[in-house]
Amino acid sequence: MLKIVQLFLLISLLSACASGFQPHADPITELKAGNYTQAEQAISQRYSSTGRNQLLYHLEMGMLKHLQGQYLVSNQHFDKAEDIGEKLFTTRLTEEVSVLLTGPNLRNYKGFVFENTYINYYKALNYLKLAEQEAELDQAKLDAALVEVRRLAIRLNELKHKTGGYQAPRQPNREATLAYQILQIFKQSLGRDHHVDKFVYRDDAFAHYMSGILYEMSGELDSARIEYTQAAQSYENGFAQQYKLGNQGLQQVWFDVAKTMTLAGGYQNELDIITNNKLNNQQRAQLASLTPESTDIIVIQHAGTAPKRQNLNMLLRIDKDTKSLVLTPIVTGSYKERQAQWRWFEMLYADTDIIDILQNYALGDLGNVVMGQFTKRIPLSFIWDDVKRLGLLDALQIGARISVPYYPPPEQKISKTQVWLNGQLQGELMPASSIARIALQEQLRIANSQIQAALVRELVKALMAQKAIKEVGLHKQGIWGDLAKIATATINAINASADTRNWLSLPANINFKRIPVKAGLNQIKLVTYFNSGQINTQSTEINVKPERPSLWHVRTFADTPISNHLNKSGTL
DSSP track, 105-131: GGSPP---HHHHHHHHHHHHHHHHHHH
Task: Give every strand in the sheet of 520-530, ordered side by side.
Answer: 424-428, 414-421, 520-530, 535-544, 563-565
Q: How far apart are CA 508 and CA 267, in angstroms?
A: 37
Beta bridge pairs of residue 109: none
Residues 6+ apart with CB under 8 A from 210: 121, 124, 149, 300
The domain ranges of the chain are: 47-143
Name the DSSP class of 569: T
CA pair distance 481, 265, nearest whole angstrom: 84
pLDDT for position 570: 40
Q: Which residues of 128-152 are buried (b: 16+ CB within 10 A; e: fewer)?
A: bbbbbeeeebbeebbebbbebbeeb
Contact in structure between 360 and 369 (CB atoms under 8 Å) = yes
What sign does the dihedral 104-448-369-413 (CA atoms) show?
positive
Q: Single out the residue of 101, 151, 89, 102 nearest to residue 124, CA to CA.
A: 151
Residue 466 near residue 395, CB atoms below 8 Å: yes
Q: Note the pLDDT of residue 356.
A: 54
Instruction: Please tell me the predicted confidence (pLDDT) of residue 371.
Output: 46
For residue 200, the one-letter residue type is V
Residues 6+ apart with CB under 8 A from 465: 10, 11, 14, 395, 485, 488, 489, 491, 492
Contacts of 528 (CB under 8 A, 6+ apart): 301, 303, 414, 416, 417, 418, 535, 536, 537, 538, 556
The amino acid at 201:
Y
Q: How many Cβ atoms from other residues are within 10 Å of residue 273's Cβ?
A: 12
Residues 6+ apart with CB under 8 A from 426: 418, 419, 420, 513, 515
Q: What φ, ψ does residue 201 adopt, rounded to 5°?
A: -80, 95
Instruction: Tell me the average confidence (pLDDT) per consecutive run of 10 residues in the chain, 572 residues long.
Output: 42 43 71 92 92 94 96 97 83 52 76 92 96 83 94 86 41 59 61 65 93 94 95 92 92 95 90 93 91 88 93 87 85 89 79 56 56 68 80 75 88 92 96 95 86 79 66 49 46 62 95 94 96 93 88 86 43 34
Question: In the sheet that 550-556 helps form, which strands lie side by side, from edge to edge?
Answer: 430-434, 509-517, 295-303, 550-556
Beta bridge mates, 517: 295
CA-to-CA dists, residue 542 to 492, 502, 510, 563, angstroms: 59, 35, 21, 19
Strand partners, 528: 417, 536
Partners of 431 in beta bridges: 511
106, 433 Cβ separation under 8 angstroms: no
Which has the closest alpha carbon to 515: 418, 416, 421, 424? 421
Dihedrals phi, psi of 406, to nearest 5 degrees: -150, 160
